[in-house]
Amino acid sequence: MRTVLIGAAAAGCLLAVLAPESSRVAWSGPVAPTEDVKPVEDSMHEFMEYVFQPTYLRLKATMTTAPADNKGWKAIKADSLVLAESCNLLFSRAPDGAAADWIAHAKASREKGAALYAAGKAKDFAAATTAWKSMLESCNACHKQFEDGKHILQP
């Protein structure tokens, strides 16, 4: 049964990607988590190092100058979307005793990452630069609170 469901989901995703945009069904939002939804990696350090850090480093290099072509803008959009969406994965990883602060930091980072993505879509480098720095301020606020100021990110 599970193999059939996974196969059906994969086929549905492939059809959604290949379908003309005009015929695509609107996304209704995430499905409620179940016991089958659980982190692959329990270590927050490992999670940050292998999910967030490579994307941050690519984006840091990309954000040094305004993109000269669509390839550069696509890099900004791709990495900012990955970072923004990855913040959603932080909600289920809140530490005991400080969940409200953790979630507030994750929301702020996600929203500022979304602003960076929107600026990339608009090909507005000034807005992208502002959003990039703002997103890093949100990330760093979390690092200051939960990592004693370690791992401070630079634009």
pLDDT in tens, 138-154: 999 999 999 998 989 99
Task: Please tell me the predicted confidence (pLDDT) of residue 115.
Answer: 98
In angstroms, the CA 48 to CA 106 distance is 13
What is the homologous superfamily of the domain 39-146 according to CATH? Answer: Cytochrome c/b562 (1.20.120.10)
What token pair was written down for 71?
């390839």
Give 3-state DSSP helix, strand, coil % of the chain, rounded to 5.
Answer: 70, 0, 30
Report the C-alpha gap between 59 and 132 in whole angstroms: 9
pTM (predicted TM-score): 0.77
* Tokens linked to 15: 């059809």
CA-to-CA distance for 100 and 91, rounded, in angstroms?
10
Q: What is the pLDDT of residue 4?
A: 41
Retrieve residue 80's tokens.
């900012």
From residue 139, alpha-carbon distances to 86, 93, 104 in Å are: 12, 15, 11
Report pLDDT for 3: 44
How high is the pLDDT of residue 11? Answer: 44
pLDDT in tens, 44-60: 999 999 999 999 999 99
Distance CA(114)–CA(131), nearest Å, equals: 9
All residue ranges of the chain with pLDDT < 70 are 1-35
Domain boundaries, the chain: 39-146
